[in-house]
Amino acid sequence: MNQSVQDFSALTRGSALPEQRNRVLRNTYWLLALSMLPTVLGAWVGLATGVAQLMSPGMSMIVFMAGAFGLMFGIEKTKNSAAGVPMLLAFTFFMGLMLARMLGVVLGFKNGGSLIMMAFAGTGAIFFGMASLTSVIKRDLSAMGKFLFIGVILLIVAGIANLFIQSSALMITLSVIAIGIFSAFILHDLKRVQTGEETNYITATLGVYLSLYNVFVNLLALLGIFGGERD
């Protein structure tokens, strides 16, 4: 009798697990789509007010790091409560606000609007490509996260160093590498949801959003460098 109950419980847990994974993945996609709205709003506010342009590159970096890490800490603390989603949306608004500086530079090109749309389309293509790969790749990708994280740390260090070096070649190289690393992060994070390693859709959304944001920023930087047309 006890064995039958245990077998039934195991069967029930096994059938519920895929349902839970699908629910987390579905909620992640919906929240990710919703997070684009405050991002666009933040970018519009930044462009309209010119607040991002008022700060020097160094000050902008300090504000960005302090604001981003502070809000991410808040998201981590509230991810299991009703405040988790509003905190995430506040974070995406802030990220949009910080994006306004680069958008302002790109919009200074004659074809700036087209470059932004190309970067957006390219980011979307990378996302859908990585999302499709999660269903094709069967192997465990959890070990990949450690190497990708190390890569991000090295990117941050090299990016800070380039604020002083001001090397265009290094900036281009870092942008290309960043696109590769964060594209892989999208694959890694979505795969974690599919395999049940990540069960909180707010945390999952935050990870994928950050990767998409960085892919977009670096694609836009490369398009601006190589495709920007001045009047």
Query: Could you tell me the pLDDT band of residue 86, with boundaries at 50, 70 and 90?
Result: very high
Whether residue 13 is predicted with pLDDT greater than 60 in this model: the reply is no
Alpha helices by DSSP H, 137-200: 144-165, 168-194
Q: Which of 176, 189, 188, 187 is nearest to 215 (CA)?
A: 176
Query: Comparing 54-58, 70-74, 115-119, 203-207, which segment has the lowest mean pLDDT?
Result: 54-58
- CA angle at 123 for the pair 200 and 219, rounded to the nearest 5°: 125
pLDDT tens for 104-128 read 999 999 999 999 999 999 999 999 9
- C-alpha span between 36 and 20 (Å, rounded): 25
Alpha helices by DSSP H, 50-109: 57-78, 84-107
The pLDDT value given to residue 8: 39
C-beta separation of 183 from 215 below 8 A: yes
The pLDDT value given to residue 72: 95
The pLDDT value given to residue 121: 96
Q: What is the mean pLDDT of the chain?
A: 87
84, with CB counted inside 10 A (0-12, 13-18, 19+), is buried
The pLDDT value given to residue 5: 39
Whether residue 9 is predicted with pLDDT greater than 80 in this model: the reply is no
The pLDDT value given to residue 46: 92
C-beta separation of 181 from 148 below 8 A: yes
Whether residue 10 is predicted with pLDDT greater than 60 in this model: the reply is no
The pLDDT value given to residue 14: 40
Report the pLDDT averaged over residues 121-142.
89
* DSSP sequence for 1-42: -HHHHHHHHHHHHHHHHHHHHHHHHHHHHHHHHHHHHHHHHH
- C-alpha span between 41 and 226 (Å, rounded): 28
> Quick check: helix, strand or coil at residue 79?
coil
Report the pLDDT averaged over residues 44-67.
84
